Amino acid sequence: MASTTPAAKLYTDDVSLVVVLLDANPFFWGASTTTNNNNNNNNSNPLSFSKFLNHVLAFLNSIILLNQLNQVVVIATGVNSSDYIYDSSTATTTQNSGNGKMPGIYSKSLQKLEEFVIKDRRLSKEDHSPAGNVSSLLSGSLSLALCYIQRVFRSGPLHPQPRILCLQGSPDGPEQYVAIMNAIFSAQRSMVPIDSCIVGAQHSAFLQQASYITGGVYLKPQQADGLFQYLSVVFATDLQSRNFLQLPKPAGVDFRASCFCHKKTIDMGYVCSVCLSIFCKHHKKCSTCGSVFNQANPELTSTLERKRKSPES
């Protein structure tokens, strides 16, 4: 009986399925707009949401033009929700506009994206989410992307090669650490690369790990105004052609984890020997699996505290 694992399926060499996770966090982009208005140095400003969309939509349209069999799926990531915005396999290629023909990716995507942002803002007000440095629901978008790709795997022996592209601007949410790591290992097992393009001010430790573990590409563009050029040169290439290219490699990967108790990023902590849960402080009992821990050695604890507080040599 033939195996049904993704590795045993017959892939087409140059046909791609690109699932794009689009960061539509209204708090992040609202703060970016304020920064643009208050800062006269255009080189250091983050992109506005409208300019960001112009770059992304042009990039997605170019992927479809590269090969008529290529597929593009767009998933919007908000603060409290994630949802499908566009699917080229079910959308019409053109729509009538005042000046002739207009790609369907522009009209339908913008309409659904506007509806999504309005809905996500309403959910944020209902949940009393604080405005400001709020993370996006990346774990939810990754789950939607992997579910879609699994449906493609089960559609037949011949299908495009899938990959995920995360266009992230919001900071990492430590409370999503477990869910994101589960999604990363699921993508690794399914042989689905996770590419990452960071458009925010700071790097993403989660996406650094995601790209490293799954064999994807991690990139933080130096010039925000040239986002389309970065996307088209680095991320438009199919997986087969990547074997012949020198793609950018990250200078370093932040492998720090988030504790399960306070959801904070830590450099040193305690690990449950049964379920591998991570805690920033010693606990008598694991909150994940219920295992009872022995009492910590006071001398060892004090030694670890001194090492933590001492400056690095």
Please identify which residue in the block is written with the tokens 């400003």.
45
- Other beta carbons within 10 Å of 212: 18
Residue 248 within a domain? no
Instruction: Give the global pTM.
Output: 0.78
Q: What is the mean pLDDT of residues 272-281?
A: 81
Q: What is the mean pLDDT of residues 6-11?
A: 50
Pairing of β 158-168 and β 194-198:
parallel
Band of residue 2 on the pLDDT scale cut at 50, 70, 90: very low
Residue 60 within a domain? yes
* Domain co-membership, 159 together with 82: yes
Is it the case that residue 102 has pLDDT exceeding 70? no
Residue 249 within a domain? no
- Residue (of 27, 148, 43, 38) closest to 80 by Cα position: 27
* Domain co-membership, 90 together with 237: yes
Residues of the domain holding 169: 6-242
* Domain co-membership, 278 together with 213: no
* Domain co-membership, 231 together with 261: no
Pairing of β 10-23 and β 71-77:
parallel
Residue 69 within a domain? yes
* Domain co-membership, 34 together with 166: yes
Residue 250 within a domain? no
Q: What pLDDT is attached to residue 263?
A: 66
Q: What pLDDT is attached to residue 269?
A: 83
* Dist. CA 185–CA 221, nearest whole Å: 26
* Domain co-membership, 234 together with 271: no
CA distances from 31 to 43, 48, 148, 169 (A): 17, 9, 32, 11
